[in-house]
Amino acid sequence: MSLSEEAKRYDKVLLEVESSLSELFTKLSPLNVSEEKKRFFSGEAKNPVFSYEPANAWVLVNDKLESLKQIKLPEGDIYSALLVEKREQLSATALLLDSIGKDEFTFFSERLYGKPDKGLMEKALKILHENSVKGEKTCDVKTLGSPDIMKAMQEALAKSGLPYWKVEESDITALAAVYSATKKVYVRKRAAVSPGVLKGLVVHEIGTHVFRAANGEAQDYKLFITGFPGYLLTEEGVAANVEEMHGCLCEERMKVFAGRVVAVGNSYKSFREVFEILKKFFSDEEAWNLTLRAKRGLRDTFLPGGYTKDLVYLKGYYDVKEYLEKNGKDALRKLFYGKVGLEHVGVLEKLEGLKEPKHLPDGEGLKESIKGI
C-alpha cells in the first residue's frame, strides 16, 4: 500500500496539530504547586486548590482539524482509516487540554486513557504489599540534580547520533518528558535522582521515546512520528521493558508504577484520602508526588476525578512483556519503526517503503552513555 497525495496532505496537517498540542501538556502543571504543598503539609489546607494557565488548545487547532474534513481520503484504505481515527483523538486531546481546571476534565481524561480495571488494581496492590518497606534504599539515594540529568540526556543523544534533539529545564510534574513533534526533552527543575534512577530515565526517555520518534521521522508515513491512534499504552510499555532489558527496572521503579495505578484507581476520592492510602507504602514526599500526578487537572482536589493517564505504565509493561514473550527476539525491533501500538504491528507489512529502524535500544551509543552514570 503506497501513500496517496490526499493522505500525505492529511498526514502533514495532523503532524502540525500534534506539534501545536504537544507542548500544551505543560499546562497540566498547576501554577501554585509550591504554595499549596506548604498549606497541605502544614494542615492549613485539607486538600489543595490549584490554579492553571489556560491552554486555549481548541482555538489553536480547530481550523486545521476542520480543514481535514475537506480532504477525500481513499476508501477501504487501512492507513486512511488510521488517519481519521487520529484526527478524532487529537480533537479529544484539545478538548482535554481546554478542560483543565473545569468540571469535565475527568470525562475527557477517561475518554482518552480509560481507567484501571480490577485486574490491574490487584496487580498494583500486590506489588505494593510485596515491597512495602518505606524509606531510603540503594536505588533511592538522590545525589544527582537537574544539571546532571540534562547532561546525561545530552550525552545519550549525541552518542546515539541525535545531537539536533534539545534538552531543556521546565516546571513540569514528571521528572522528564519527551515532545517528539518539537524534538525536545524536558527535565523538571530542581529534580533529584539516584544514579540508578538516572540510568533508567535515560533508557526510558532517550532509548525508547526519542528512538521511536527518530525512527518514525524517517518514515514517509507521518503517523510513525505523531503516533498511531492509542499508541501511548505501548509506548510506555516498551519503555518499561527496555528499562528491564538494561537492568534499570528495580523493585522501587515497579513500586512507583504500581503507586500510579493505585492513585488513579482511587482518584474518585479526595486528594487527602488518596495521599493517606499511598502513605502506607511511600514516604510523604513520594505520596504527594503520586497523588499530584493523579489529581492534577482538577481545581478543587477535594472533588472526585483526575488525570488517568498514569495507568498506562504498569498496564503497558505487562501487555508489551506478554507480546515479547510470545513473539520472540524480532518482536521488539518491530515496535521501533516508530510510534506504533501493539495492535498496529500487523499493519506494518501492508505499508510500502518502510525504512528499517536505525535507533534501537540495544545500540552501542545508548549502552556507552549509561555505563558512565
Q: What is the pLDDT of residue 140?
A: 56
Residue 211 in contact with residue 355, Cβ under 8 Å? no
The residues with which 192 forms a beta bridge, in sequence order, are 145
- With a CB cutoff of 8 Å and minimum separation 6, the contacts of 52 are 27, 28, 30, 31, 100, 101, 299
Any idea where the domains of the chain sit in the sequence? 5-371
Q: What is the pLDDT of residue 132?
A: 64
Backbone dihedral angles phi then psi of residue 151, each to the nearest 5 degrees: -65, -45
Place of cell 525504512: 355
Q: How far apart are CA 116 and CA 211, in angstroms?
A: 28
| Cα angle 114-88-346, degrees, rounded to a multiple of 5 | 75
- With a CB cutoff of 8 Å and minimum separation 6, the contacts of 137 are 252
Q: How far apart are CA 278 and CA 274, in angstroms?
A: 6
- With a CB cutoff of 8 Å and minimum separation 6, the contacts of 312 are 113, 232, 233, 235, 236, 237
Q: How far apart are CA 236 and CA 210, in angstroms?
A: 12
Q: What is the pLDDT of residue 98?
A: 98
Q: What is the pLDDT of residue 138?
A: 47
For residue 95, give the DSSP letter.
H
pLDDT along the chain (373 residues), means of 10: 87 94 92 97 97 97 95 91 96 98 97 96 96 53 87 95 94 86 90 89 96 96 94 96 92 92 98 98 96 98 98 97 91 96 94 94 92 84
Cell numbers for 255, please give them. Answer: 513500586
